[in-house]
Amino acid sequence: MSTSLIILAAGKGTRMRSDLPKVLHKVAGFPLLAHAMTSGAAFEPERTVIVTGHGAELVDAAARAVDEAATCVVQEEQLGTGHAVLQARPALDGFRGDVIVLYGDTPFIRPETLQAMAEARKTHDVVVLGFQAADPAKYGRLVMDGEELQKIVEFKDASIRERAIDFCNSGVVSASAETLFALLDKVGNDNASGEYYLTDIVALAREAGLSATAVACDELETMGVNSRADLAVAEAAFQARARAEALESGVTLTAPETVFFAMDTHVGPDTEIEPNVVFGPGVTIENGAHIRAFSHLEGAHVSRGAVVGPYARLRPGAELAEDVRIGNFVEIKNAVIDEGAKVNHLTYIGDAHVGERSNIGAGTITCNYDGVFKHRTEIGKRVFVGSNTMLVAPVKLGDDAMTGSGTVVTKDVPEGALALGRADQVNKSGLARKMFEILKARKEKQAEGKS
């Protein structure tokens, strides 16, 4: 059975107090919308339709960053969740399978939960995802009759008896496209909010002789983000789960509560991650690497046996081969560091390639930017770059080359050559001692003048 997703993301999210549409606020380095799309991706959806409204263009761009094939449809006026889903109809023209409706501001629905809904769809025409609410507050209430879902009543429209129900609507709904849109055609807005409620399709289904049921999930999964406080809670929930999963998969975290993962961080087993490490988007750590304390990694690939940090920064395009060493206060950007190479202290390597087993001395800088353009630095194999070398790109150092400390390299260095580019040193015999005597005498004189 093929599946398509409809993700509702038209709301403004007033309580965020933000110029940014709510679904673009980030958890674990990715917009809420990307989390919702990722949950739904478990179905390999045939089509993904995002219903946008506020900040439609920005939401559109974010959706495409996750899935180029996603279609965004604009809901000009937010007339309710039922009206929102109807906007997706033209984009699903000709689609014959199942539709799952998700909310763009609800990031944590697990693929397993959606799978359970798909299972329930085999025996029911409409399937709703519900949860036992610790505090049912304003959620829609699921009115059950045994296994059958009779209707969903919105809080505002509910009787006192219905309000006492604590089995609540998450908002996630599944039905065949045909059934969904046929039922939505019948939904009116004669209710306390004057909105077209998606939830009304349940009672309409029952009236039409169709069956409906609810699948239950953990309340945490259905958590929606409506405020900055919710966003912080969502971040904490994500991190708690990511840390537990990392530990479970064989990663050592010395202080799990201080390590922050992105939604797409991949860490292989037998990796050791010390305290206070932050992963931005796009990081892969292969088995058995060691990420030392206070390191920040983003868009980086770290191979087996590599050691990074403490206090290292890997920026997008950092590609570390096996057994590479990246030490304290080193920044690597858009650079490939080949097997066994060492960049141990106080260095910037950007737009560069460092060949295998080369050693980059403390304080080395690839001067990659001339104020307008970026340029590349090529360092061969087994090169020894002396401390405080400035590599003024574009520049190449051949295999087995060497640079003297403090050299400003502006010309290519042939293989096996030593580059020296610094002022020659002169020693003035006895002059230091003489200088000390003069200075001390001056200090004594000043002290006498004061007393």
Alpha-carbon distance values, 80 to 198, 351, 392 (Å): 7, 50, 60
Q: At what angle do helices 32-40 and 111-121 cross, to 10 degrees?
A: 50
Q: Which of 3, 4, 39, 75 binds ligand UD1 (CB under 6 A)?
A: 75
Name the nearest CA neighbour of 43 among 12, 15, 4.
Answer: 4
d(CA 295, CA 252): 16
Q: Which of 3, 39, 179, 199 binds ligand UD1 (CB under 6 A)?
A: 199
- Cβ-contact 304, 285 below 8 angstroms: no
Alpha-carbon distance values, 180 to 76, 93, 94, 183, 270 (Å): 21, 13, 14, 5, 48
Q: In whole angstroms, how close is the CB of 9 to ligand UD1 at the nearest point?
A: 6
Site string for ligand UD1, 209-248 (x = CB under 6 A): ---------------x------------------------
Q: Which is nearer to ligand UD1, 8 or 92 (CB)?
A: 8
Q: Report if residue 183 touches ligand UD1, rule: CB under 6 A.
A: no
Cα angle, residue 149 at apex, residues 148 and 150 outer, rounded to 5°: 110
Residues annotated as part of the active site: 345
Q: Which is nearer to ligand UD1, 199 or 359 (CB)?
A: 199
Q: Report if residue 30 touches ligand UD1, rule: CB under 6 A.
A: no
Q: In whole angstroms, how close is the CB of 111 to ligand UD1 at the nearest point?
A: 20
Alpha-carbon distance values, 83 to 5, 47, 178, 181 (Å): 16, 19, 16, 10
Q: At what angle do helices 56-66 and 32-40 cross, to 10 degrees?
A: 40
Q: In whole angstroms, how close is the CB of 133 to ligand UD1 at the nearest point?
A: 9
Q: Report if residue 10 touches ligand UD1, rule: CB under 6 A.
A: yes
Q: Report if residue 189 touches ligand UD1, rule: CB under 6 A.
A: no
Q: Report if residue 142 touches ligand UD1, rule: CB under 6 A.
A: no
Burial degree of 188 (CB within 10 A; 0-12, 13-18, 19+): exposed
- DSSP letter string over 194-211? ----GGGHHHHHHHTT--
Select the residue whose beta carbon is closest to ligand UD1 and give its number. 140
Number of separate helices (H) and strands (E) present in the chain = 9, 33
Q: Which of 108, 139, 238, 261 binds ligand UD1 (CB under 6 A)?
A: 139
Q: Which is nearer to ligand UD1, 183 or 324 (CB)?
A: 183
Contact region for ligand UD1 (CB under 6 A) — 88-96, 192-200, 330-338, 351-359? 192-200
Residue with tokens 């919105």: 154
Q: Which is nearer to ligand UD1, 158 or 320 (CB)?
A: 158
Q: Which of 98, 154, 274, 356 binds ligand UD1 (CB under 6 A)?
A: 154
d(CA 73, CA 31): 18
d(CA 189, CA 79): 9
φ/ψ of 73, rounded to 5, equals -120, 140
Q: In whole angstroms, how close is the CB of 52 to ligand UD1 at the nearest point?
A: 8
Q: Which of 131, 197, 260, 279 binds ligand UD1 (CB under 6 A)?
A: 197
- Cβ-contact 141, 155 below 8 angstroms: yes
d(CA 325, CA 342): 5
Q: Report if residue 131 touches ligand UD1, rule: CB under 6 A.
A: no
Q: Which is nearer to ligand UD1, 63 or 246 (CB)?
A: 63
d(CA 206, CA 342): 69
Q: Report if residue 102 touches ligand UD1, rule: CB under 6 A.
A: no
Q: Which of 5, 6, 8, 379 binds ligand UD1 (CB under 6 A)?
A: 8
Contact region for ligand UD1 (CB under 6 A) — 79-87, 211-219, 297-305, 433-441? 79-87
Q: Which of 5, 11, 292, 379 binds ligand UD1 (CB under 6 A)?
A: 11
Take residue 336 and report the two structure tokens written for it: 């490939």
Q: Which of 6, 35, 66, 105 binds ligand UD1 (CB under 6 A)?
A: 105
Whole-angstrom Cα Rg for the chain: 31
DSSP β-ladder status, 126-132 and 167-176: antiparallel
Q: In whole angstroms, how close is the CB of 268 to ligand UD1 at the nearest point?
A: 36
Q: Report if residue 256 touches ligand UD1, rule: CB under 6 A.
A: no
Interactions with ligand UD1, residue window 38-67 (CB under 6 A): 51, 53
Q: Which of 39, 48, 113, 169 binds ligand UD1 (CB under 6 A)?
A: 169
Q: Which is nearer to ligand UD1, 141 or 296 (CB)?
A: 141
d(CA 215, CA 219): 12
Q: Which is nearer to ligand UD1, 84 or 285 (CB)?
A: 84
Name the nearest CA neighbour of 204 among 194, 193, 192, 196.
Answer: 196
Q: In whole angstroms, how close is the CB of 219 to ligand UD1 at the nearest point?
A: 11
Residues that bind ligand UD1 (CB under 6 A): 8-11, 51, 53, 75, 78-81, 83-84, 103-105, 139-140, 152, 154, 168-171, 197-199, 224
